[in-house]
Structure 1
Amino acid sequence: MKRFLNTLLILSFLGLPACAKASNDLVLSIDGQETIITKAIYQEIEELVNVNDEKDYDLPLEYLFYQYDGRVVDEIDILQGESLTTFQWKEIADSAFWRDVSKLEINGEEYMVDSINIRPDGFDEPVEHSIMDIAPLTAEALGISFGEKESGFSVPSGSVEHVVWFFLDGFGYEQFQAAEKDGLIPNLSTIGEFHTAYTVYPPKTSTATAALLSGLDSRQNGVWATGIRNLTVPGIIDAVVDSGMKVLIVEGSSTPFNYPAAEVTLSGDRDGDGSTDDNVFRNAQTAIAEGIPSLFLVHFHGIDNVGHTYGPFSQEWESKVSEVDAMVEQLIEQLPEKTLVVIFPDHGMHSVVEDSELGNHGNLILDDMGIYIILFQK
């Protein structure tokens, strides 16, 4: 049966319109939608991603997939002549590189391919939201202008004086579901409206923050890769400040992105306990007591940090998740009335077995790309 199905798949590839594909082009098929990838397309994506021309850069194959809306990948089939090879994407994502239009490297082995077929993965139900909806939502809640995109959320007009973002670094959808099942997040799992969503590729803090602030995808806001810390398009912070309002951000020991128009409080690990979350919590409490501005961002880094070191779902990770849940609960209790609370992660995380870490993120898999947005109004 497997050989029969493979034969059918090969025949479907061979049945592609020959006139549309040059000999060195690549056919990319995502959920039945076919695209001819040319040398010019390869060069365009490579130039966008490789922001440092002096560096020898490995171009992950995922950039090609994401460019054509491959958000979450389950399996890929590569066709070389009449030879078909299938890969589980989660097993090869970190070692799959795009070397030229039809030249791939997977697990150190080179492949000259005619076609790639992608079988997508993702949420069971259609997903309407992404991290890019948070900026327009904030603008709508505060009654200010920001771009042309609508958030898709319903916010009562005139009922919000403050918007508070709780940024839970690395605590994605899959991690949230596991924590809820184990009873680790009694506050987060019961508060407000829960909306499934996607982050952007690559699912890293800097790229996700750029999408968060700009309301635009990494393909539109210019931040395609880590190492870029400035927006080249308008951001929600500028829109809030230009409207005569203020923005305060409480961060850990450093900022993942530049916030030139906002007031930033760096918390650091003042007590030397290996985490900035307790100091972020105290600084946030102080800010609330003194009166928060129109937009207030509180960024907890601990779940991501512990996940990298000990792995997601480890005992240490579970303890940190419970701690952050309790901190968010206390901060929400102290917030003033007419506050819209927005709780979200930048990305998720998957387990790895490496010398330096047991958790990582950055791939087109649901563990990394699946997030959520929780809305609660006081």
Structure 2
Amino acid sequence: MSLAGLQAPPYDGGTLASVLPAVAASLGSTRYAGEHPFDLHDARRAVVVLVDGLGYELLRQRSGHAPFLRSHLPAARRIECGFPTTTATSMGSFGTGLPPGAHGLVGYEVLVPGEDRLLNELSWENGPDPFRWQPSRTVFEEVQAEGIDVTRVGPGYFDGSGLTNAALRGGRFSAGRELDARVEATLCAVRATPRALVYLYWGDLDKIGHTFGCASWEWGNELESIDRALGVLAERVPSDTAVYVTADHGMVDAPHALRIDLAHDPELVAGVRHVGGEPRSLQLYCEDGAAADVLETWEQRMGTRAWVASRDEVIEAGWFGAVRPEVLPRIGDVLALMRDNFAVVHSGRTRPEILALRGLHGSVTADERAIPFVRISPRNA
């Protein structure tokens, strides 16, 4: 089943890639002047919180666990994170303000051209130079150069990591382990200077969703904790400070009974040299001359369980936005994007703890691609 009938993300009309440029414009950045897809209030200081895995539909469905965020939902925007709906790609879009084809972080696991191996763009283990892999200046670098003080708040191991250097470099880094500690670090940073942009990342909601499922009580409990912390943050920032909350993707629960295991399916792996992407959004790198046969086989076998398309079809339809020439070979020859709650795994190449995960993302369903953009205007506005 091709991608016919699906609309690619509106990269020119306000997606996750538009968030930081719009916030920068509201702070008076001349580099991003005119970036107003969200009609933000002007502010002297801003805090942008990214909650990993907080999809718009999940927030709406589980809003009983989030009274603070629920009170701001009427004015919130339902935007898209981009494609694929995976953290590494979304962080590239968020940090650079560019679509995936331009920043080049085009999936969870992608081919390293010329090296016949996959790169995990999240862990960046044995990865290439992140500054060359993603050479564009980030929004943080641009606004820091304009005199807007930038602080990034997250877990200590993010500082200097491959993904951080590729997508989120610029300004200073402040580490905090627990959410309350990160809120305090954010408050210290935003109070320290009259013109500031502070970015706060929290990833435990995504971890819990992967482990227990996004319909679990554990997910709801974590959302309650996040909601309380956000309420404290919004109350304690200076009165000239805007607070924004967004996410990198949503999530669906994918029961194990609805999964295909490529380790036991020789027909589906015939002609496939590398299986990249992730279980909800596979990128298949084919042996020379095998791409057409792989495409036909996957279309027939997957049927209504997935949208299957060639790299050229996906690019032409605009799912990656404009694609730089050097990024083209990083994208699979054939892409298989799961519908409903289906997934495709490979038990021969995947650790058991990863196979055990229940909540997944990466594909193009509304539950995965829709994210919130919650705006909490300065109190003095």
The one-letter code sitting in structure 1 at the alignment partner of 2:47 is V
> 1:356 maps to which residue?
356
The one-letter code sitting in structure 2 at the alignment partner of 1:356 is A
**1:152-163 → structure 2 map (5 Å cutoff):** 152-156=37-41, 159-163=42-46
- Tell me how far apart the structure 2 counterparts of residues 339 and 286 of structure 1 sit (CA, whole Å): 13
The one-letter code sitting in structure 2 at the alignment partner of 1:129 is G
> 1:281 maps to which residue?
183
- Tell me how far apart the structure 1 counterparts of residues 99 and 224 of structure 2 sit (CA, whole Å): 31
> 2:87 maps to which residue?
205
> Per the alignment, do residues 219 and 121 of structure 1 end up closer, same or farther by CA in structure 2, a change over 3 Å counting?
closer
> Per the alignment, do residues 359 and 283 of structure 1 end up closer, same or farther by CA in structure 2, a change over 3 Å counting?
same
Give the secondary structure class of the aligned counterpart of 1:136. helix
The one-letter code sitting in structure 1 at the alignment partner of 2:368 is D
Among 145, 148, 151, the alignment partner of 1:242 is 145
Among 187, 191, 198, the alignment partner of 2:72 is 191
> 1:120 maps to which residue?
6
> 1:167 maps to which residue?
50
Q: Determine if contact 1:136/1:149 at 8 Å carries over to the other structure.
A: no
Q: Does 1:143 align with 2:48?
A: no
**1:9-88 → structure 2 map (5 Å cutoff):** 76=1
Cα deviation for residue 118 of structure 1 reads: 2.5
Cα deviation for residue 153 of structure 1 reads: 2.3
Cα deviation for residue 195 of structure 1 reads: 0.6
> 1:257 maps to which residue?
164
**1:87-106 → structure 2 map (5 Å cutoff):** none
Q: Determine if contact 1:179/1:318 at 8 Å carries over to the other structure.
A: yes
Structure with the greater alpha carbon radius of gyration? 1
**Could you say what the CA RMSD is over the residues aligned between the two structures, in angstroms?**
2.6
- Tell me how far apart the structure 2 counterparts of residues 285 and 117 of structure 1 sit (CA, whole Å): 45
- Tell me how far apart the structure 2 counterparts of residues 119 and 209 of structure 1 sit (CA, whole Å): 27
Q: Does 1:178 align with 2:61?
A: yes
The one-letter code sitting in structure 2 at the alignment partner of 1:283 is A
> Per the alignment, do residues 356 and 253 of structure 1 end up closer, same or farther by CA in structure 2, a change over 3 Å counting?
farther
- Tell me how far apart the structure 2 counterparts of residues 216 and 128 of structure 1 sit (CA, whole Å): 12
Cα deviation for residue 353 of structure 1 reads: 3.1
- Tell me how far apart the structure 2 counterparts of residues 293 and 147 of structure 1 sit (CA, whole Å): 16
- Tell me how far apart the structure 2 counterparts of residues 316 and 160 of structure 1 sit (CA, whole Å): 36
The one-letter code sitting in structure 2 at the alignment partner of 1:120 is L
Among 213, 218, 224, the alignment partner of 2:106 is 224
- Tell me how far apart the structure 2 counterparts of residues 142 and 136 of structure 1 sit (CA, whole Å): 10
> 1:374 maps to which residue?
374
Encode CA deviations 1:173-231: one digit per residue, 9 max, x unaligned: 11111112xx1111011127211110111211121111112211101222212344553
Instruction: Give % identity.
Output: 21
Segments of structure 2 that go 5 or more residues without pairing to the other structure are 109-119, 122-129, 257-354
Q: Determine if contact 1:168/1:345 at 8 Å carries over to the other structure.
A: yes
Cα deviation for residue 117 of structure 1 reads: 5.9
Q: Determine if contact 1:134/1:151 at 8 Å carries over to the other structure.
A: no
- Tell me how far apart the structure 2 counterparts of residues 220 and 122 of structure 1 sit (CA, whole Å): 15
> 1:315 maps to which residue?
217
> Per the alignment, do residues 241 and 326 of structure 1 end up closer, same or farther by CA in structure 2, a change over 3 Å counting?
same
Cα deviation for residue 148 of structure 1 reads: 7.7
> 1:93 maps to which residue?
none
Cα deviation for residue 139 of structure 1 reads: 2.1
Give the secondary structure class of the aligned counterpart of 1:249. strand
- Tell me how far apart the structure 1 counterparts of residues 255 and 203 of structure 2 sit (CA, whole Å): 22
Greater displacement, 281-290 / 293-302: 281-290
TM-score norm. by structure 2 comes to 0.60
> Per the alignment, do residues 267 and 293 of structure 1 end up closer, same or farther by CA in structure 2, a change over 3 Å counting?
farther
Among 241, 244, 250, the alignment partner of 1:342 is 244
Cα deviation for residue 144 of structure 1 reads: 1.2
Structure ranking higher in helix proportion = 2
Greater displacement, 346-355 / 142-151: 142-151
> 1:64 maps to which residue?
none
> 2:292 maps to which residue?
none
Paired residues, number: 250
The one-letter code sitting in structure 2 at the alignment partner of 1:242 is A
